[in-house]
Amino acid sequence: MLDHLIERIRAAYENDSPLILQGGGSKSFYGNPDEGEVLSTRAFTGVVDYQPKELVLTARAGTPLTEIEALLAGQNQMLAFEPPHFNGPATLGGSIAAGLSGPRRSYAGAARDFVLGVRIIDGTGQPLRFGGQVIKNVAGYDVSRLMAGSLGTLGLITEVSLKVLPRPAAETTLQFELDEAAALLKMNQWAGQPLPLSATSWHAGLLTVRLSGAVSAVHAAQVKLGGETLKDAAAFWQRLRDQSTAFFDKRPAASGQTLWRLAVKPTTPPLKLGDAQWIEWGGAVRWLESDLPAAALFEAAKSCGGHATLFRGAAPAGGVFSPLTPALHTLHRNLKQRFDPKGILNRGRMYPDF
């Protein structure tokens, strides 16, 4: 299967034919529209190595997340960044290429923080390995982590080595009735205290907080914070991870509706950019349903020290991601030129001119 992937990319390079790199297709909506024939990794599956005592797992790109998570659960371990499945056949390679993390991200780390090494095929069809015994490439970049969130524009990920973590000994979820401003204040206050926080969420006047860790620590925090204990909490966080709640579910498919993701400083006060919103990551992520112009939302996020992404909906002319500064634009173009000189891999997926 690996030889087949290499041959397909080499042929595309020779013919200057764009390819759409795809795993399970669960995140095909994410990013700008791309072009070309689909090159799937779905058949390239399997866990290559798993060392529970070393907390390291290596698997091929097409391996379903469900298979990896079941294997880890058998050893009472987990993928701490909680990659979203979006109710689709999500794969490991696609999850790392998208670089998306779930509710635990702001407390445990992002997807890129757990990547130890990758094997890829670049845009010329050359297989490369980064991480592990090969520390960095000649340019000095930590390429293994650079692949996280690159949306397949730098290379086809064929294998990933990840750091995994033990599951917490105890976990409970509390809820509080608070308005947006009060909820943001609480999330920031609690973040500065020695509390075993592992996820936060606010929507429609309800602040939801997950505590994870040692039994004694979780119990002490629960007594200190109060609130109402949420039953079936695991299902709540899974629905939020996969955006299968009523707020997210197919809303942007209707005419004129778009779903925006604004990454801002956690201390940012209420943005007042629309009535319908969902807040995660201690205030650092604001999901917003809005019909405001893209430029207005890009500028609003920038003024708060962050950036905006059109997550679902018709892409604006300039693309779904916040415009890059000239320096970052040059850096991105240089990396793209280095790894994919003819621009055949997921052409336009990240930025229209890449």
pLDDT of res. 352: 84
Poorest-pLDDT segment among 82-91, 151-160, 254-263, 323-332 = 254-263
**Taking residues 248-273, what's their average pLDDT?**
80
Q: What percent of the chain has pLDDT over 90?
A: 83
Q: What percent of the chain has pLDDT over 70?
A: 95
pLDDT of res. 133: 34
Poorest-pLDDT segment among 98-102, 181-185, 271-275, 277-281 = 271-275
Q: What is the mean pLDDT of the chain?
A: 92
List of residues 6+ apart from 95 with CB closer than 8 A: 23, 27, 65, 83, 84, 111
pLDDT of res. 180: 95
Instruction: Check if CATH label 3.30.70 holds for domain 170-241.
Output: yes
Spatial separation of the C-alpha atoms in residues 353 and 285, rounded to whole Å:
27
Whether the pLDDT of residue 289 is over 60: the answer is yes
Spatial separation of the C-alpha atoms in residues 272 and 301, rounded to whole Å:
12
Query: Is the pTM of the predicted complex or chain greater than 0.85?
Result: yes
pLDDT tens, position by position, 296-334: 999 999 999 999 999 988 888 889 999 999 999 999 999
Whether the pLDDT of residue 142 is over 80: the answer is no
Q: Residue 116 in contact with residue 132, Cβ under 8 Å? A: yes
pLDDT of res. 353: 80
- 306 exposed, middle or buried (CB, 10 Å; 0-12, 13-18, 19+)? middle
Whether the pLDDT of residue 36 is over 90: the answer is yes
pLDDT of res. 138: 42
pLDDT of res. 81: 97
pLDDT of res. 21: 96
pLDDT of res. 272: 86
- Locate the domains of the chain by residue range: 2-166+330-339, 170-241, 258-312
Q: Residue 203 in contact with residue 247, Cβ under 8 Å? A: yes
pLDDT tens, position by position, 45-68: 999 999 999 999 999 999 999 999
Whether the pLDDT of residue 134 is over 80: the answer is no
pLDDT of res. 250: 56
**Taking residues 244-273, what's their average pLDDT?**
81
Whether the pLDDT of residue 256 is over 70: the answer is no
- C-alpha distances out from residue 284 to 20, 170, 203, 233, 307, Å: 31, 25, 14, 22, 11
Q: Residue 350 in contact with residue 309, Cβ under 8 Å? A: no
pLDDT tens, position by position, 177-211: 999 999 999 999 999 999 999 999 999 999 999 99
Work out the pLDDT band at 268, boundaries 50, 70, 90: very high
Residue 208 half-sphere exposure toward CB, CA atoms < 13 A: 20
At 49 the three-state DSSP class reads strand
Whether the pLDDT of residue 107 is over 70: the answer is yes
pLDDT of res. 2: 92
pLDDT of res. 135: 33
Under CATH, which architecture does the 2-166+330-339 domain have? 2-Layer Sandwich (3.30)
pLDDT of res. 139: 44
pLDDT of res. 248: 86
Q: Residue 349 in contact with residue 152, Cβ under 8 Å? A: yes
